[in-house]
Structures are given as structure tokens and as C-alpha cells.
Structure 1
Amino acid sequence: MAEHLSLTLPVSGKRWQGVRYGSTTRVGGVSAGSWAGLNLGMHTGDEPESVRENRRRLASSLPAEPLWLQQVHGIDVADADADIVGAEAGDTAAPGDETGAQGGELTPVCADAAVTTRPGRVLAVLTADCAPVVIAETQGRALGVAHAGWRGLAAGVLEATLAKLRARVPGAPSWRAWVGPCIGQAAFEVGDVVRYAFIAHEPQAGEYFVPGRAVGKWQADLAGLARQRLHSAGVEDVEIAGLCTFARADLFYSYRRDSVTGRIATLAWLDPQYDAF
């Protein structure tokens, strides 16, 4: 865990020029019971006012209110610099989803990623096993965040995010990415359908699946698959946080572990005064 954002975003990676980014944990906050800690996901079964208070506490140390998305395991990418309104919910309606919501008091932005070139615009995704991915142009001119569960990852949410970013900064020489806390390979058992969804796109993806404990089951390396898709899309510098949400109940919520649970947030924003070099 990096120390440069230790209070607001205790989980982060290498310092990036012009970019601040990282993930929250469940530590802190006012939620109780199955959501104990800093639950940031509305409509997870937690008391809405507890989540609002958690979000208020988080936002108090940010340059702006985050753009909360209504995540649906798709590949749509929101333009955070357009005139759009973030949902209070910032979650997903699908049963069994790791973001988990059914709408909010404000009009939601239905997308699984967002991009910006505006300094101080805070992007956010919520997770509780899926991979949060931060992507930035290496000179700190463009930024994106994406929610990458296996469905969205296989469907191309990272490639869609990169396409939007490249359109905003034509001719950018290089990109970097960070894959935040997500479920680890030892805990992520999937079936043949999931494995095929990846190897049908790129046979080399097979190396990120090892045989599971039962016939037709596989242990999938979600973070590794995200890195492979990024590399294939031309992002050479990819860092993986290496923290398993399932294994670290002290730090993270995990839908697969607990079913009824909260959500952490991965946040990022452009800060031209933050120069890592």
C-alpha cells in the first residue's frame, strides 16, 4: 500500500504524473452489521443514511463529489466532462452483482467506466470482488476508470475505455494502468463458459485459468486477465495491487464470500500540480 494517499485512499500503486488514484477499504465509516465499516454502495441492504454519511466523509477529502455510476457489467463509457448527473446509488440492479443497486434519488449515469481530461473531476467505480482498473496517459492528460467483472472484461470494457481516452488525446505516446483489489485466483472458481469467453477472444488467455477442484471448473486469475487485455490493447505499464478481496475480510467486502455485503470505491482524478517526477 502506498503512503501518498494513505488517509483517503489507503490502497494505491506507483506515483503517476498528474494523477491521483487508489481504493478505499472497509475500515472506518458508520455502517454496521454485514456492511460494517465504510460501505459506499447504495441499495446493498445497508441503511441509506449510513451510506450517505460514508460518502460525505469520503468526499470531504476529495477535490469534488465523485461521479457515481450505475454499473451493469457492460462496456458503456461515460464522458465525465459532459453535462451528466451522477446517481446517488452508483450501483447495479442485477441480482448477485458485486456492485448491487436499483437506482437512486438522482438520474443515474448507466455505464461501467468513465473518462475525463478535466482536472479535479473525480471518477469512481464500486466493487466487492470485480477488478477496478485505472488507466491514464503517461503525461497525466487523460484518465479513465473501469469496473471489470468477468463479463465486462470479456466483452471489452477496458478496450472501450481506452478507445474513448485515445479519442480525447490523439497521438498520446503511451498509457499506464493499475488493477486494484479484486478476487484472487485461489478464490475465483468459474465454469467452462467463463473460460471460453476469454480464450475465444485470445487463446493465450488460457494461461490465466488452472483446473479447479471439480470437473469443468477453473480457478481464474481476474487481475491477470485484465493485465493481458490491457497489454494486448497497447498498455505496456500495468501494475497489479495483488490484494484479494475474498481473502482479506479485514480490509475488503466480498460478494462471493458474504453475499450480503458492502462496496469499496476506486477513485481517480487529474491533478496537474501532482508531479511524481
Structure 2
Amino acid sequence: MTGGDWLEPDWPAPANVKALVTTRNGGVSVGPYASLNLGLHVGDAPDAVTRNRALLRARLPAEPLWLDQVHGTAVADADENTGPVRADASIATRPRVVCAVMTADCLPVLFCNEGGTVAAATHAGWRGLAAGVLDATLARMGERPENVLAWLGPAIGPRAFEVGDDVRNCFVAADPLAAAAFRPAGAAGKWMGDLFMLARLRLRKLGIERIYGGEICTYFSPDHFFSYRRDGTTGRFASVVWLSE
């Protein structure tokens, strides 16, 4: 699955659906941003981020549509936009149009249909997940859920994602089955949450059964992935997907 400084999703997508996830390695940033930080908003030197994005661009058919992510449910049309857009997901139906999301503990979810005619990338932190960003992405794809594949990228895992009653109650109130995604932590009112399980529950509720990935914890992978919960000041890695010719 891994290829040097890149991760390739292990999912049975059509041959024309291309995807990759960057790691924190192979770039020029230093300090807590070492080395392939792609986020301009985290305090890293802008020229270093520009150089890092150029390194990624060299592996892609076009510049990705970079999003101004706000933990919401807006879905951008990557076919029609080239500059930064305030959204937490994007879709593409044209070849060589690259969808991208940046994360450092939140869950990146990549989508495509079995016909290879639409692809999407979604930023699903717990707030966006609870608000329905996966639902919004599927709606914008305009595809029957049984024809959709989803891949869950690296995110904070259930041994590291400690949350309070507010987060657990938010999910359980919407779906009682979500209770299985939380186990008591040491302190009263604290829980260890399974973001991967919560995403799978949501996807299955939408009718999507072909779900892959969800095995890599950013928190416990310091040599490969940035983690905001682990480090505080840190960079961002990208998950990208596109359709080839």
C-alpha cells in the first residue's frame, strides 16, 4: 500500500480512478512541520508550503482544488473552481480534475462510483461527520449508494480519540447504534471514540456498503503522519482523488 513518501488506497476502484495520500515525508519544511506540510494556515513558512505543493503537483495531472475547510457540510464542484473554496468536500466528473482534502487527525474519505465517472474527497472531522458532510457528498455525486465505493484514510484511532459526553451524546442521539463506537475512558464523562466506526455507520445508513480502509491511526504514526492531537503545532497531509483520461 505504501510507496515511499506516498500511500495508495487499497480499494477496488475502477482503473481510471486514481488516488493517493501524502505522508509527512519528502518535503522541505522544518521543525514541527517536517517535512511535507501542505497547509498554508498552520504557521509554516509560506515558501516551504509552496515548494511542498509543487512536489505533490508533480505527481498529479493538475493542481488540486484546495479547500478552506471549516468543519461544515458544503461540497464544492472541482470541475468549475480553480481557486480556494470554503467547503469540506469536493466532487469531480471531468478527467484530470483533482479533489483534495487536508487533515492531521480528522478523517479523509475518498469516494468514487463503480463506473468511474465521478470522484469525491471529503474532510470528516467529528463535527462535519455529525452534521452530515458524508450525506452531502453522496447527494452531490448524484449516484445510487449501492454503486458507490468509499475509502477511509488515516485519522486518529480509537485508542487516542478521547472526547466528552457532548460528542458521544451528539452521535447517539442521531443513531443509537453509535453507542458501540464509544468506550469509557479513565475520567468520568470521558470516552474513547472510534471515528472509523462512526463513519462506517453513517455510510451504511446512507446505503453505502462498499467501504474500505480505516486502519491507520495518525496519532500513533509519528514517523508518517501529522497529528494535531498528538503535537498541537503540526502540518497537514493531503488525500487526493481524480479521474484519468
Pick aligned residue for 2:13 from 8, 13, 16: 16
TM-aligned CA deviation for residue 223 of structure 1: 1.1
Identify which of 69, 81, 88 aligns with 1:71.
Answer: 69
TM-score by length of 1: 0.85
For residues 60 and 4 of structure 2, the distance between their equivalents in structure 1, rounded to whole angstroms, comes to 11
Cα offset, 1:241, TM superposition = 3.8
- Give the distance between the partners of 1:45 and 1:12, measured in 2 at CA: 29
C-alpha distance after superposition, 1:199-240 (max 9, x if no partner): 111110110101111111000000111111111101111012
Candidates 14, 39, 42, aligned match of 1:41? 39
* Per-residue CA distance 1:64-90 (angstroms, 9 max, x = gap): 0000000000000001112x2322xxx
Contact 1:125 1:145 in 2 (8 A): yes
Structure 1 match to 2:242: 269
Give percent identity, aligned residues only: 50
How far apart in 1 are the matches of 2:148 and 2:51? 35
Match of 2:48 in 1: 50
- The alpha-carbon distance between structure 1 residues 8 and 137, as it changes in their structure 2 partners (threshold 3 A), is farther
Distance 1:173 1:216 in 2: 38
Deviation at 1:173, TM superposition (A): 5.2
Q: List gaps (5 residues or longer) in structure 1.
A: 88-108, 273-277
Match of 2:57 among 56, 59, 79: 59
CA distance in structure 1 between the aligned counterparts of 2:227 and 2:100, rounded to whole angstroms: 18
1:22–1:180 Cα contact (<8 Å) kept = no
The amino acid of 1:271's aligned partner reads S
| 2:126 paired with 1:150 | yes
Moved over 4 A (4+): none
User: Residue type matched to 1:68 in 2?
Assistant: W
| Mapped partners of 1:229, 1:173: distance in 2 | 14
1-side partners of 2:65 and 2:71: how far apart?
Answer: 17
For the structure 1 residues 33 and 19, does the alpha-carbon distance in structure 2 shift closer, same or farther, using more than 3 Å as the test?
same
Q: Note the alpha carbon deviations across 1:164-203, whole angstroms, 9 max, x for none.
A: 001xx5x575111000000000100000110111111111
Q: Distance in 2 between matches of 1:119 and 1:7?
A: 26
Task: For 1:36, give the aligned amino acid.
Answer: A
